[in-house]
Chains A and B, each alone.
Chain A
Amino acid sequence: MKKNNYNYIIVAGCSRFGAHIASMLSAQGKDVVALDKYSSSFRKLSPDYSGFSIVADATDIDELTRAGIEKADVVVAATDDDNVNIMIAQIASRIFNVPKVVSRLYDTEKEIVYQDFNIQIIYPSRLSITEFEKLILIDNMEELK
Chain B
Amino acid sequence: MNIVMIGGRRKIDFLAKSLLSKGHGVTMIHDDEEYCKYLSRVHDAPVIYGDGSKPYILEDANVQGADIVIALTPYDADNLVICQLVKKVYGVKRVFATVSNPKNVEVFKKLGINTAISATYIMTGIIEQMASIAEMTSFIPIEEGKIVVMEIVVRDNSPVCGKSLAEIPIPEQAIIGCIIRGVNSIIPRGKTQIQADDKLIILSPPKIQQKIVKLIVGRDDI
Shortest Cβ distance from residue B92 to the other chain A in the assembled complex, whole angstroms: 14
Shortest Cβ distance from residue A50 to the other chain B in the assembled complex, whole angstroms: 30
Contacts between chains A and B (CB distance < 8 A), count: 54
Q: Does B85 contact A (CB under 8 A)?
A: yes
Instruction: Find out whether the CB atom of B107 lies under 8 angstroms from the CB atom of A95.
Output: yes
- Which residues on B sit within 8 Å (CB–CB) of A59? 76-77, 101, 104
- Which residues on B sit within 8 Å (CB–CB) of A86? 77, 80-81, 84
Interface size on B, residues (CB 8 A): 20
The SS class assigned to the B binding surface is helix
- Which residues on A sit within 8 Å (CB–CB) of B81? 82-83, 86-87, 110, 113
Interface size on A, residues (CB 8 A): 20
Q: Does A84 contact B (CB under 8 A)?
A: yes
A107 to B111 alpha-carbon distance, docked (Å): 20
A83 to B75 alpha-carbon distance, docked (Å): 9
Instruction: Find out whether the CB atom of A113 lies under 8 angstroms from the CB atom of B84.
Output: yes
> C-beta contact mask, A77-100 vs B, less than 8 Å → 1, else 0?
000011110110011001100000
Given contacts A107-B54, A113-B85, whether A91 and B111 have CB atoms under 8 Å apart is yes
B87 to chain A: closest residue by CB: A113
Q: Does A133 contact B (CB under 8 A)?
A: no
Instruction: Find out whether the CB atom of A109 lies under 8 angstroms from the CB atom of B54.
Output: yes
A62 to chain B: closest residue by CB: B103
Q: Does A21 contact B (CB under 8 A)?
A: no
Q: Does A122 contact B (CB under 8 A)?
A: no
- Which residues on B sit within 8 Å (CB–CB) of A110? 53, 55, 81, 85
The residues of B with any CB-CB pair to A shorter than 8 Å are 53-56, 75-78, 80-81, 84-85, 88-89, 101, 103-104, 107, 110-111
